[in-house]
A = this chain, B = another copy of it.
């Protein structure tokens, strides 16, 4: 949901977008098929998938045999946190951006419905941008690459409204950490945040869910 909205915003700003997805050993591999589909639907220039085996690193319920927690999110860093994931994804994005000679790197991170992930905060992103410009040939060529996170200060409801205005079809997005036969579970922290967002936006979530308690899917 966030990545797709981020793409729609970048395209609306006039960027030629090269989209990147990561096959990292996640349980929710359905997001890879949907990422490719959204990239095509929103008319990105090109889509790429990079394989990086974060299962080998471990330490997260998203890539390990560990169970994905159900129920509301607390204040602590949850077990679905994947160690240094955004640093890894952004570094790989940076590599491709360097090959393309890209002006900017976009990420759908957001810190409002902050579920305790350190790598979704503004100070992390600022620091990454500084590092990125030292890590690459940009520095010796007098160019700069900008790191953009247009959703950073938006709540989920605002993200959904913004995306809907830009024509995003959320029926082909996936947020669930623990899908059952490619349908969202409706109970993990990502599903809860998403459903709350749709409810606040006064919209119905068009994505497929396993549990179909009508009340949970937002008020139409």
7 CB < 8 A contacts A-B = A52-B52, A82-B95, A87-B94, A118-B137, A118-B140, A127-B131, A128-B131
A65 at the interface (CB under 8 A from B): no
Chain B residues, Cβ within 8 Å of A48: 56
A contact residues, total (Cβ < 8 Å): 45
Across the interface, do B99 and A57 meet the contact criterion of CB distance under 8 Å?
Answer: yes
A131 to chain B, nearest CB (A): 4
Copy tally for this chain in the complex stands at: 2
Across the interface, do A99 and B136 meet the contact criterion of CB distance under 8 Å?
Answer: no
- A98, B57: Cα distance in complex, Å: 10
A139 at the interface (CB under 8 A from B): yes
Across the interface, do A139 and B118 meet the contact criterion of CB distance under 8 Å?
Answer: yes
- A201, B163: Cα distance in complex, Å: 63
Task: Name the CB-closest residue of B to A75.
Answer: B140
Chain B residues, Cβ within 8 Å of A95: 54, 57, 59, 82-85, 87-88
Chain B residues, Cβ within 8 Å of A49: 56
Contact residues of A with B, CB < 8 Å? 48-54, 56-59, 77, 81-88, 90-92, 94-96, 98-99, 116, 118-119, 121, 123-124, 127-128, 130-132, 134-137, 139-140
- A171, B77: Cα distance in complex, Å: 45
Chain B residues, Cβ within 8 Å of A91: 84, 87-88, 90-91
A59 touches which one: B52, B77, B99, B121 (CB < 8 A)?
A: B99
- A48, B51: Cα distance in complex, Å: 17
A123 touches which one: B51, B53, B58, B134 (CB < 8 A)?
A: B134
- A118, B121: Cα distance in complex, Å: 26
Counting from the closest, the 7 A-B pairs by CB-CB distance are: A59-B99, A84-B95, A83-B95, A83-B98, A87-B91, A124-B134, A127-B131
Across the interface, do B140 and A135 meet the contact criterion of CB distance under 8 Å?
Answer: no
Chain B residues, Cβ within 8 Å of A51: 51-53, 56
- A137, B128: Cα distance in complex, Å: 16
